[in-house]
Amino acid sequence: MDFLTLFLVYLCFVLVVTALLCLCSGRKESFLTRSVNRASQVLSLVIPTQLQRVTHKVTHGALHRLFHTRSCLFVVLHIALQAAVFGEYTWEVFGYCWELQFHLLLLLLPYLLLAGNMGCFLLCSRANPGIITKSNHASLVKVYAYDGVMFQRGTVCPTCTMEKPARSKHCSVCRTCVHRFDHHCVWLNNCVGASNAGWFLLYLLSLTATAAALAALTVSFLIHVVLLSSLTHSTYLDAQGQEHPVEIAFLVQHLFLTFPRIVFMLGFVILLTLVLGGYSAFSLYLAFTNQTTNEWCKARRFGVSHHLSSQPPDRQLVYKNIYSKGIWRNLKEIFRPPTALERKKK
């Protein structure tokens, strides 16, 4: 069926683009950059040298500005996608569901979740993530202990020329060191650090809930349409003139041809819910174990092959997270970051 092929291509395209954006954001040499380099090597056999130089300069300059400099492009894209989805929901789904006498609170739930999500988005994107300056450096050094493996005492940031506090990292996009650095989020155009990690977690959870609510209401509407039309008890004739009972594929085709924009929106929202749901689960895991994304990635690279300088060379050191204090205390730390004074009291 042509419509099913088109719809599957659409879903795959959305999924691939989302995965590429996740892979490309926050990396010095992204997957997209490597792919462009490989493609350039192949095309260099047939493209003139002067044209290659111009294309290389334009392409690499654009990719660098896109993923490694602060830009509002993804913020605008973020808002545009939400506007498009909610425009379709308001224009068609809300009206149809209202005619089918859906409960008003259910229909307003996505808007309430959107309001909460936009509030968290503004607070997280506009907040100071925990930028380390000369005035607060002395106090931030005392907040977390150095584990001696991932964070070594005396390590100096070559850009900021200051000793790195434990759990901090220099962000090449924002060009500052950030306390309890998690990652740089292109969708927020800001880093996620000690001061806004709680708002980021709420933003992510509310965005997932918004997408899930839209998907659930849209699916519920389409099911109501199918049940009211009694298509499940009908039959159809195939190309050879043979009669068959209505199957799921036929129902999907009927809904696609009757409500094309709604079905396309539903496919996008379902994929978004799955992607955001997986990322939210991962973020909750990090919060429960008091880890950052940066620390989790570093721990994968460390493995068990690194040694402390004071340890015998034949003795392997297993990395251990010394910052975890139990689930509830870890969650409390996300929303209320500790200070040097609190650590001294403990």
Q: How far apart are CA 343 and CA 346, in angstroms?
A: 5
Using alpha carbons, select from 136, 141, 25 the residue that is nearest to residue 77.
Answer: 25
Rounded Cα gap, residues 246 and 266, in angstroms: 22
The CA–CA distances, whole Å, from 139 to 62, 144, 152, 231 equal 39, 10, 17, 69
The residue behind tokens 């068609």 is 92
Q: How far is C-alpha 144 from the chain's CA centre?
A: 27
Q: Which of the residues 160, 171, 174, 185 is marked catalytic?
A: 185
Alpha-carbon distance of 275 to 306, in angstroms, equals 34
Sign of CA dihedral 323, 325, 330, 332: negative
Length of the chain: 346
Task: Give the C-alpha distances (Å, rounded to integers) separating 51 from 64, 132, 339.
Answer: 20, 44, 56
List the beta bridge partners of residue 178.
131, 169
Instruction: Give the E-state strand segments of the chain in sequence order.
Output: 169-171, 176-178, 183-185, 190-192, 235-237, 243-245
What is the CB neighbour count within 10 angstroms for residue 113?
A: 20
**Nearest-angstrom CA–CA distance, 165 and 344:** 16
Q: Output the six-digit token pair for 175.
A: 């060009």
User: Residue 248 corresponds to which amino acid?
Assistant: I
Return d(Cα 73, Cα 195) in angstroms, integer: 24
Specify whether 191 is catalytic. Answer: no
Rounded-to-integer distance, Cα 118 and Cα 110, Å: 12
> Which residues are the active-site residues?
185
